[in-house]
């Protein structure tokens, strides 16, 4: 699984779980892709958004943010 780190022109810079970076041409990704989305490949090798993992990570970040400011 990869996470979209950023876009540089027509290339998506993605991060693997081991923190190494991979470049993927943007045309190979879903149109609605954005930074922070997790992607995986389906059975045909097509990149798809891993919606469950993306939402899980967003929720985790949201909770950390609120805990941080709740304690100040």
Task: Give the model's pLDDT for residue 71.
Answer: 64
Angle (CA) 63-50-10 rounded to 5° is: 105
Look at the chain and report how many structural domains it folds into: 1
Q: What are phi and psi for residue 44, nearest 5 degrees?
A: -100, 5
Per the structure, the complete domain to which residue 34 belongs is given by: 2-70
Q: What is the pLDDT of residues 6-49, one digit of tens each?
A: 999 999 999 999 999 999 999 999 999 999 999 999 999 999 99
SS3 sequence of 40-70: EECCCCCEEECHHHHHHHHHHHHHHHHHHHH
pTM metric for this prediction: 0.83
CATH for 39: 2.40.50
d(CA 8, CA 67): 33
């Amino acid at each position: 699984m990869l996470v979209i780190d950023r876009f540089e022109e027509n290339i998506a810079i993605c991060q693997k779980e081991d923190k190494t970076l991979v470049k993927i041409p943007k045309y190979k990704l879903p149109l609605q892709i954005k930074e922070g989305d997790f992607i995986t490949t389906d059975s045909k090798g097509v990149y798809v958004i891993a919606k469950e993992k993306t939402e899980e990570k967003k929720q985790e970040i949201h909770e950390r943010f609120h805990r941080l400011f709740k304690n100040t």
